[in-house]
Amino acid sequence: TPLTRPGGWNGRAVFTLGGGCVGGWYRQGTATGGVTSPYLLGRGYALMSSTLNVFGQNCSDLTAAETASMVKERFTEAYGPAVHTIGLGCSGGSYQAYQIVDNYPGILDGIVPACSFPDVGFAMTQRVTDTKLLTDYFARHGAGWTEEQKRAVTGFASYAVATGTRRDAVRIDPRGDCGVLPEKLRYHPRTAPRGARCDLYDHARNVYGTDPETGFARRPLDNTGIQYGLGALRDGTISKKQFLDLNVRIGGFDQDARHIARRTEADLKAVRTAYRTGRLTSGGGGLADAPIIEYRAYTDDSPGGDTHLRYHSLSMRKRLEKANGTSANMVSVLEDSRYGPFSLKSPLLRRSLTMMDRWLTALAADTSHAPRIEKIVRAKPDGLREGCNTRGRRPVFLAQKLNRAPDSRCEKLYPSHSFPREVAGEDIASDVIKCRKRPVRRDAYGDVRWSEPEWRRLRRTFAAGVCDYTRPGVGRQSLRGTWLSY
């Protein structure tokens, strides 16, 4: 009962958050994030979840947050309040963890995100749509490109990451994954223009609003001004001819996710809404005051390519630092994928959960009036260290900051690599939805020297200017607040 705790319960709760996104619309689903873990139950934790906390069934952090709040309320009514609730999830579960805490603080007290991304709509979707455009270009026009040149433009560990993950762009296609609906209810541009659109943006139309001309959700997707392959041009990996041809031909997506010749232009209202409402995770809401232990099983070097890339960990850290001036409330741990991308068979993941429990317990015991971030830092367990496991048969934990320092042993063991927009000049935070432009300048290309015909072609290609990543993105603004309603 709410007043009598079950004998096997340690008073703590873990809210499990399931992954996915594609196909996560117009359905309730049947799977949860997992509520029968022998490991967690055996250690006395209560487990909570819901089918709407699985992004493969509901790719909306807003619905996920409301659902988590209701599940937690129901749990409290039945069993009494938990001492604290830890959010745990991989991939689509990590989106939920970050965005629920940032936008609806208090539902989860601390989080252990795994195989993580900062958000689904931008950190993930920008990368996979860029990847789709690049692989389409190389399939049609890449006869003279080497595998290394293609890889260098993407920034990934191998070009297999691009070819192996390009299908993830289907999340912007209104007809790409609609099997959950009867065909007569689905959108078709000619026969059913008012039918249900199965894509990420129309699933969030209550936030983004609709375009009065089309009736479709406003879309904050943009690649205007991006100089794909800029870093590879500057370091001599690709030629001027290749750089020019790539940027002339790469194109974009129309509203139905069809590849078109012109670049994709974002709806400016949607861009502003994304920043203001936390559709792009800022890190400046509830995440500023929540303990985070981020676990990653390294998959950048998977032979067939994997979408859960390590640089996303660095993106989230940078966003916290930009928003709050510190990321002291975030600890990252890293190992190889011998246990798979996310498994409680991993001693490192198990330890992360134990450390989060101790961290939250110590934090709750601090009744001082010190600033929250100071209390979080003070409460951090002595045994909690950032670092990585070695790759040997008997892994050894190396306690060191997980950054891109070239002399770092962890960086050498698990290189963080890059992504297409960082190769094009964007910051690791990956938080620019639509870049501000500047005119092309000859001095911006390192040692590259342009002939007059080449320069004229470059200027025609970027007649409206190229991305100036030294300035905030168009429409950039602070989070309007937390606990917003739609």
User: With the CA atoms of 41, 45, 49 and 53 taken in that order, what torsion angle do they form, in degrees rounded to the nearest 10?
Assistant: -110
pLDDT of res. 301: 95
pLDDT of res. 284: 96
- Asked if 63 and 105 sit in the same domain, the reply is yes
- Asked if 106 and 218 sit in the same domain, the reply is no
* Contact between residue 163 and residue 305 where contact means Cβ atoms under 8 Å apart: yes
pLDDT band at 233 (very low <50, low <70, confident <90, very high): very high
Is residue 7 pLDDT above 90, yes or no? no
- Asked if 266 and 139 sit in the same domain, the reply is yes
* Parallel/antiparallel/unpaired status of strands 259-260 and 252-253: antiparallel
- Asked if 25 and 93 sit in the same domain, the reply is yes
**Could you read off the pLDDT of 280-296 as tens digits, one per residue?**
999 999 999 999 999 99
- 309 in a structural domain: yes
Q: Which domain holds residue 214?
A: 132-276+430-467
Is residue 4 pLDDT above 90, yes or no? no
**SS (HEC) of 345-361:** CCHHHHHHHHHHHHHHH
- Asked if 395 and 451 sit in the same domain, the reply is no
CA neighbours within 13 Å on the CB side: how many for 50? 20
Residue for token digits 């409290």?
76
Report the distance separating Cα 267 and Cα 253, nearest Å. Answer: 13
Three-class SS state of 191: coil
Q: Give, for 337, the enclosing helix (H) or strand (E).
A: none
Q: Is 49 exposed, middle or buried (0-12, 13-18, 19+ CB in 10 A)?
A: buried
- 354 in a structural domain: yes
- Asked if 70 and 160 sit in the same domain, the reply is no
- 411 in a structural domain: no
Report the distance separating Cα 409 and Cα 119, nearest Å. Answer: 28
Report the distance separating Cα 353 and Cα 85, nearest Å. Answer: 11
**For a pLDDT cut of 70, what percent of the chain falls above it?**
100
**Could you read off the pLDDT of 189-229 as tens digits, one per residue?**
999 999 999 999 999 999 999 999 999 999 999 999 999 99
Is residue 344 pLDDT above 90, yes or no? yes
pLDDT of res. 66: 97
pLDDT of res. 428: 98
- 407 in a structural domain: no
* Contact between residue 98 and residue 111 where contact means Cβ atoms under 8 Å apart: yes
- 54 in a structural domain: yes
* Total Cβ atoms within 10 A of residue 143: 6
Is residue 372 pLDDT above 90, yes or no? yes
Q: Is 268 exposed, middle or buried (0-12, 13-18, 19+ CB in 10 A)?
A: middle
Instruction: Please compute the mean of the pLDDT values over residues 376-394 and round it to a whole number.
Output: 97
pLDDT of res. 1: 78
- 384 in a structural domain: yes
By C-alpha distance, which of 97, 94, 142, 110 is closest to 297?
Answer: 94
- Asked if 149 and 109 sit in the same domain, the reply is no
At 176, which amino acid appears? G
pLDDT of res. 459: 97
- Asked if 301 and 398 sit in the same domain, the reply is yes
Spell out the alpha helix ranges (H) of 240-342.
Answer: 240-249, 268-277, 311-324
Q: Is 442 exposed, middle or buried (0-12, 13-18, 19+ CB in 10 A)?
A: exposed
Report the distance separating Cα 63 and Cα 58, nearest Å. Answer: 8
Is residue 128 pLDDT above 90, yes or no? yes
CA neighbours within 13 Å on the CB side: how many for 130? 29
Is residue 255 pLDDT above 90, yes or no? yes
pLDDT band at 423 (very low <50, low <70, confident <90, very high): very high
Average pLDDT, the chain: 96
- 100 in a structural domain: yes
Instruction: Please compute the mean of the pLDDT values over residues 240-245 and round it to a whole number.
Output: 98
pLDDT band at 3 (very low <50, low <70, confident <90, very high): confident
pLDDT of res. 6: 84
- Asked if 272 and 137 sit in the same domain, the reply is yes
- Asked if 266 and 347 sit in the same domain, the reply is no
Residues 6+ apart with CB under 8 A from 139: none
Is residue 141 pLDDT above 90, yes or no? yes
Report the distance separating Cα 248 and Cα 10, nearest Å. Answer: 61
pLDDT band at 447 (very low <50, low <70, confident <90, very high): very high
**CA angle centred on 140, ends 137 and 145, rounded to 5°:** 75
- Asked if 143 and 270 sit in the same domain, the reply is yes
Q: Provide the CATH number for the domain around residue 285.
A: 3.40.50
pLDDT band at 159 (very low <50, low <70, confident <90, very high): very high
Backbone CA torsion sign across 22, 28, 30, 35: positive
> What's the number of domains the chain is made of?
2
Is residue 18 pLDDT above 90, yes or no? yes
- Asked if 289 and 269 sit in the same domain, the reply is no
- 268 in a structural domain: yes
Q: 382, 402, 422 — which closes off a domain? A: 402
Instruction: Please compute the mean of the pLDDT values over residues 240-267 and round it to a whole number.
Output: 97
pLDDT band at 105 (very low <50, low <70, confident <90, very high): very high
